[in-house]
Amino acid sequence: MPASAGAGAGALDARTAAVGVPRAAPAARRPDWNGRLAHLILLVAVSVLAFPLYYAFVISTQTLDQVSSLPPRLWPSTAMLQNYAAAWSRSGMARLLLNSAIVSIGIAAGKIAISLLSAFAIVYFNFRGRQVVFWMIFVTLMLPVPVRIVSTYQVISVLGWVDTYWGLTVPLMASATGTFLFRQFFQTIPDSLAEAAQLDGAGPMRFLWSFLLPLSRANLAALFVILFVYGWNEYLWPLMITNTPDMRTAVIGIEALVPRSGSQLPEWNVIMAAAMMVLLPPVLVIVAMQRWFVKGLVETEK
């Protein structure tokens, strides 16, 4: 009597479900179920993460009337071009993006060059004061910009670097992370390589340029991605040492579009358009160079 047996099993199912006793899943189907759950969780996580960006994008395509009407509209509208054009001209976006590019590439390149040289000296030379230099660099790990706000500003003004590209880049170029990364890496390179190079008559700079540098390509790329993103998104430093719109970086500059007084109605569609333009470059760098980004994140944090 297959029908009644089925009904009996169904009733049993219903009863256990009602009582809430968990039933062991059949062993054969278990992995499949796990995989689906994993996909479901990840899809939800990824969507929740993407929603604010999507919402910001949608706002950036709407007219001001649409932005300020309820219920909120969740699909793109027609005002995209004029919003982006308005954001571009009103904030002086061309100059802001140029400044951000100069600053972030400058910081990344400078930091890499400086830390590469000092790590090379520390690993490959025996010189008086080597330990002192090493500890001096190490201690800077403990002194991020915010803990020396006023004093650093005074140093910059003594140097006459307020509102200059020098002021925006040079002070952020020295930090221990790059030096440590390269030091760590150089120590994994067998001594025989340096010996062989010396036998071939290569001097130290030749060795650095033709042997170490090509070997360090992966580290260079990883460090570059992290430092580019860091430089692009740096906030406190450019806020402190720039005081003309021409020297503002993009992240600081778009704040000019957000009115602080309550009486003026902010044009959220234009603000979001500006935000989209400013956030795009570092996000693209991360997506395009994802592999290096993860490597850089792990290694700079060591």
Partner 1 sequence: MKRAVFRNRWLPYALVAPQVAITLVFFFWPALDSLRLSLYRSSPFGDRLIYVGLANFEKLFADPAYLRSGVTTFVFSFCVTFVGMAIALLLATLANAKIRGLGIYRTLLLWPYGIAPAIAGIIWLFIFHPSYGILPYLLSFVTTYQFNWFLKGWVAMVLITAAAIWKQFGYNLAFYLAGLQGVPESVLEAASVDGAGPVRRFFSMTFPLLSPVTFFLLTLNMTFAFFETFGLVHSVTQGGPGDATAILVYKAWKDGFEGLQIGLSAAQSVVLMAVVIALTAFQFRYAERKVVY
Q: Could you say which of 114, 162, 218, 256 contacts partner 1 (CB under 8 A)?
A: 114
Query: N- to C-terminal Cα distance for the chain?
Result: 69
- Within positions 154 to 183, which residues make up the interface with partner 1, using CB under 8 A? 154-155, 170-171, 173-174, 179
Amino acid identity of residue 84, one-letter, is Y
139 binds partner 1 (CB under 8 A): yes
123 binds partner 1 (CB under 8 A): yes
Minimum distance, C-beta of residue 278 to partner 1, in the bound complex (Å): 6
| Closer residue to partner 1, CB minimum distance, 3 or 147 | 147
Contacts of 273 (CB under 8 A, 6+ apart): 60, 80, 83, 84, 86, 87
| Closer residue to partner 1, CB minimum distance, 165 or 235 | 235
- Within positions 78 to 107, which residues make up the interface with partner 1, using CB under 8 A? none
H or E segment and range at residue 105: helix 93-124
Minimum distance, C-beta of residue 183 to partner 1, in the bound complex (Å): 11
19 binds partner 1 (CB under 8 A): no
Give the Cα separation of 34 and 38 in Å (integer).
Answer: 6
Q: Compute how many other C-beta atoms are within 10 angstroms of the C-beta atom of residue 265.
A: 9
Residue 63: alpha-carbon gap to chain centroid? 31
9-17, 21-29, 194-202, 215-223 -> range binding partner 1 (CB under 8 A): 194-202
Contacts of 132 (CB under 8 A, 6+ apart): none
Helix (H, G, I), strand (E, B) or coil at 74: coil
| Closer residue to partner 1, CB minimum distance, 7 or 269 | 269
- Within positions 235 to 254, which residues make up the interface with partner 1, using CB under 8 A? 235-236, 239-240, 251-252, 254
Half-sphere exposure of 128 (CA within 13 A, CB side): 0
77 binds partner 1 (CB under 8 A): no
Q: Could you say which of 180, 271, 292, 296 contacts partner 1 (CB under 8 A)?
A: 271
